[in-house]
């Protein structure tokens, strides 16, 4: 018997046929705002409202958005196999119902994962260019990983299940967030912000985003702020420099407002079990390949053949180099192209124990590698593609170096134990995030995450990650800048700051060092203005989406895995015009409990302005618990009340002025 299958578009119609009357009268169907903006929305229920609020997260958003038509015959080319590219494939399959076999990755490298790396072995040394501090509110990332089969657990468990199994049973915190004076733990219990600096933070939160174009952090904040413990915690944790974008800092403050009380001891963080390649990239790649997605390695996209007509801008061809041979891939009107533009890890220069990275790049030659070149080629076609040169042209301001230590037992490991919350060999949290050396000229930090950090790591080996923020200063012990140093010299500088320089030979003998100088590692934090980054689907584009760290989202931050996944999801929903939204960032920034807690935390847990009054009003009510910390004594309250009312008035006057 010959089985006939119905054309897919007909099938689609049948799916919704029982709903025709509703759909024909609908003002939402086919017109969903895929990228709603919570910073512009007045959240009200009105007779015409049918969609959730812009940042409403949760199960109601787990609907399957019915595609407007079938994309069965569409081919999809995804350029770049980082987490952004891989997430794009996932959402094309899950929500667009595009057959996985129609999806092809074009990846210039020999390996997938992009910036999410993790390689090496105990003999040559392991290497991770970065570690991954993560947050429970990575809504898009967890949305995806709840469906990706776990690396080490059997079906039906997912990467999210595996992640939670680890983190639910092993909380993260630090007992030595700061050190100084050659190895001494420094008090890290307070932020040390003056009232003026606290007010400056509040004023920044109140500012409109559009008023912050091209401003830097040091343009706005005082020296006392830049010298505070708060800024030491913040800039070392998120890798901000004083010359970076004030707008991005503001977005970070909103995005991670709920985490502020865990800033000093890092108790707000969660971490993967292994390095990010093994934890995330491997299971995701296996999942995609099991569905039929193809990955073409050694394939570089050089340019897009684009044409405009009255309907919009169309990609009609991909100009590529496959294993060194030029070729062109034709793109039809039903096909889609998704491109990762820009890169934080391109042009990485590597070194080892005996060699410093040989850096053959300066501002006159920067921005020529594939991701940047491609973005520049696009930008030359239309202003809707942004201004890549704003991000890749100042490598003194966008670079830093990281170092991976592969350590056999030594004096370094013994010293590390003093800073660790658990035995480094126990499999549990070790340092609980970075330890920053406050009197290091390079502003060096180091961390030992849960071990083993690689599945094949021998029991007696630890992997430690080190990085510094200042690339132009000589070390305190080694009179060279960090990029001029061999791995052994960087290790020497670290031993000096850990107070174990007298045992240096023992440490050098037992430690393999691999260094990685990244010219663009904080390029996405460079000061920017509206229009410098393109939208995910740039104006007029019909079959092209841009993803990754250099595209505009409404309120999300950059330098996270989450934001790359968000851009991927937006690209898919917009291009396919799915009846489904990507909710804006988690709304905790508007939660009064977190706002009050932030006010108190910024004031080093002393009562914030107006707290006494609020406590009085809420005492004995259902809402009493929204106030953070303990209640003061009755006497303190009475005297405090009058003082607070006056302070509140002054504060209000100040804000208004």
Sites of contact with ligand FAD (CB under 6 A): 79-85, 106-109, 114-116, 129-130, 132-134, 300-301, 340, 343-345, 370-371, 374, 402, 521, 548-549, 559-562, 564
- Strand, helix or coil at 517? strand
Closest distance to ligand FAD from the beta carbon of 28 (Å)? 31
The pairing of beta strand 76-79 with beta strand 103-106: parallel
The dihedral of CA 294, 299, 305, 311: what is its sign? positive
Closest distance to ligand FAD from the beta carbon of 521 (Å)? 6
Bridge partners (DSSP) listed for residue 516: 350, 402
Question: Which pairs count as long-range contacts for 628-632, CB under 8 Å and 24+ apart, including other chains?
Answer: 628/261, 628/593, 628/596, 628/597, 628/600, 628/601, 629/600, 629/605, 632/607
Closest distance to ligand FAD from the beta carbon of 203 (Å)? 28
Helix 282-291 vs helix 83-94: angle between axes, to the nearest 10 degrees? 40
Closest to ligand FAD by CB, 79 or 512: 79
Residue pair 483/401 in contact (Cβ under 8 Å)? The answer is yes
Bridge partners (DSSP) listed for residue 199: none
Closest to ligand FAD by CB, 246 or 300: 300
Closest distance to ligand FAD from the beta carbon of 342 (Å)? 8
Torsion of CA 525, 530, 531, 536, to 10 degrees: 70
Closest distance to ligand FAD from the beta carbon of 176 (Å)? 19
Q: What is the DSSP letter of 608?
A: P
Please provide the distance, in angstroms rounded to a whole number, between the alpha carbons at the two ends of the chain: 82
Closest to ligand FAD by CB, 107 or 611: 107
Question: CB neighbours (10 Å) of residue 195?
Answer: 12
Residue pair 517/357 in contact (Cβ under 8 Å)? The answer is yes
Closest to ligand FAD by CB, 225 or 442: 442
The pairing of beta strand 336-340 with beta strand 544-547: parallel
Task: Identify the burial level of 354 via C-beta atoms within 10 angstroms of its C-beta, where 0-12 means exposed, 13-18 middle and 19 or more buried.
Answer: exposed
Going across the sheet that includes 299-309, the strands are 299-309, 312-322, 325-330
Q: Which position among 77, 252, 419, 496 bears the catalytic label?
A: 252
Going across the sheet that includes 178-180, the strands are 184-185, 178-180, 435-437, 444-447, 462-468, 400-407, 511-518, 349-352
Q: Which position among 35, 107, 112, 133 bears the catalytic label?
A: 133
Closest to ligand FAD by CB, 87 or 212: 87
Residue pair 569/584 in contact (Cβ under 8 Å)? The answer is no
Closest distance to ligand FAD from the beta carbon of 116 (Å)? 5
- Strand, helix or coil at 591? coil
CA–CA distance, 646 with 54 (Å, rounded to integer): 37
Closest distance to ligand FAD from the beta carbon of 522 (Å)? 9
Closest to ligand FAD by CB, 340 or 511: 340
Closest distance to ligand FAD from the beta carbon of 134 (Å)? 6
CA–CA distance, 205 with 535 (Å, rounded to integer): 24
Cis peptide before 236 (omega within 30 of 0): no
Closest to ligand FAD by CB, 198 or 436: 436
| Residue reference for tokens 């070729």 | 327
User: Is 133 marked active-site?
Assistant: yes
Closest to ligand FAD by CB, 343 or 601: 343
User: Is 29 marked active-site?
Assistant: no
Q: Which of 522, 512, 544 is nearest to 301 (CA)?
A: 544
Count of residues for the chain? 657
- Residues with a known catalytic role: 133, 252
């Amino acid at each position: 018997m010959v089985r006939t299958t119905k054309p897919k578009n007909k099938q689609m119609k049948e799916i919704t046929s029982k709903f025709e009357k509703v759909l024909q009268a609908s003002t939402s169907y086919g017109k969903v705002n895929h990228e709603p903006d919570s910073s512009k929305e007045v959240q009200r229920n009105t007779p015409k409202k049918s969609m959730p609020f812009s940042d409403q997260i949760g199960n109601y958003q787990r609907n399957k958005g019915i595609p407007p038509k079938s994309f069965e015959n569409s081919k999809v080319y995804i350029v770049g196999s980082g987490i952004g590219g891989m997430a794009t494939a996932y959402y094309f399959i899950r929500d667009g119902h595009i057959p996985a076999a129609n999806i092809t990755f074009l990846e210039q490298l020999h390996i997938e994962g992009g910036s999410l790396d993790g390689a090496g072995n105990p003999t040559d040394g392991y290497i991770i260019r970065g570690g991954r501090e993560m947050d429970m509110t990575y809504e898009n990332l967890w949305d995806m990983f709840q469906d990706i089969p776990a690396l080490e657990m059997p079906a039906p468990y997912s990467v999210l299940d595996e992640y939670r199994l680890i983190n639910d049973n092993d909380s993260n915190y630090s007992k030595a967030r700061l050190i100084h004076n050659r190895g001494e733990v420094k008090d890290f219990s307070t932020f040390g912000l003056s009232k003026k600096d606290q007010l400056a933070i509040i004023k920044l939160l109140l500012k409109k985003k559009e008023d912050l174009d091209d401003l830097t952090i040091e343009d706005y904040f005082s020296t006392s702020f830049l010298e505070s413990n708060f800024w030491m915690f913040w800039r070392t944790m998120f890798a901000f420099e004083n010359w970076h974008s004030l707008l991005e800092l503001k977005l970070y403050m909103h995005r991670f407002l709920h985490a502020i009380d865990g800033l000093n001891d890092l108790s707000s963080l969660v971490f993967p079990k292994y390095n990010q390649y093994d934890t995330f990239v491997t299971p995701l790649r296996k999942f995609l390949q099991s569905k039929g997605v193809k990955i073409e390695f050694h394939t570089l996209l050089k340019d897009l053949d684009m044409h405009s007509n009255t309907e919009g801008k169309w990609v009609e061809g991909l100009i590529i180099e496959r294993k060194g041979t030029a070729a062109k891939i034709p793109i039809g009107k039903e096909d889609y192209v998704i491109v990762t533009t820009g890169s934080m890890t391109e042009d990485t220069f590597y070194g080892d124990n005996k060699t410093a990275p040989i850096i053959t790049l300066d501002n006159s030659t920067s921005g020529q590698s594939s991701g940047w070149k491609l973005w520049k080629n696009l930008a030359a076609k239309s202003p809707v593609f942004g201004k890549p040169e704003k991000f890749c042209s100042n490598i003194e301001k966008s670079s830093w170096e990281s170092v991976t230590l592969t350590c056999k037992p030594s004096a370094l490991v013994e010293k590390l134990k003093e800073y660790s919350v658990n035995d480094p060999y126990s499999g549990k949290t070790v340092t609980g995030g970075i330890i920053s050396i406050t009197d290091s000229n390079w502003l060096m930090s180091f961390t030992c995450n849960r071990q083993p950090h690689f599945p094949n790591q021998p029991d007696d080996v630890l992997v430690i990650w080190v990085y510094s923020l200042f690339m132009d200063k000589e070390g305190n012990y080694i009179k060279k800048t960090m990029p001029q140093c061999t791995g052994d010299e960087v290790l020497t500088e670290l031993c000096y700051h850990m107070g174990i320089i007298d045992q240096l030979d023992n440490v050098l003998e037992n430690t393999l060092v691999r260094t990685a100088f990244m010219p663009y590692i904080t390029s996405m934090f460079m000061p920017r203005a509206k229009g410098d980054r393109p939208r995910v689907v740039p104006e007029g584009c019909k079959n092209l989406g841009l993803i990754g760290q250099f595209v505009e989202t409404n309120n999300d931050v950059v330098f996270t895995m989450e934001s790359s996944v968000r851009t991927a999801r937006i690209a898919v929903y917009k291009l396919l015009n799915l009846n489904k939204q990507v909710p804006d960032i988690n709304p905790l920034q508007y939660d009064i409990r977190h706002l009050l807690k932030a006010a108190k935390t910024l004031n080093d847990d002393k009562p914030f302005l107006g707290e006494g009054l609020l406590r009085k009003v809420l005492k004995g009510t259902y809402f009493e618990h929204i106030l953070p910390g303990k209640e003061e004594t009755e006497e303190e309250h009475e005297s405090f009340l009058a003082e607070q009312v006056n302070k509140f008035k002054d504060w209000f006057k100040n804000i208004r002025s």
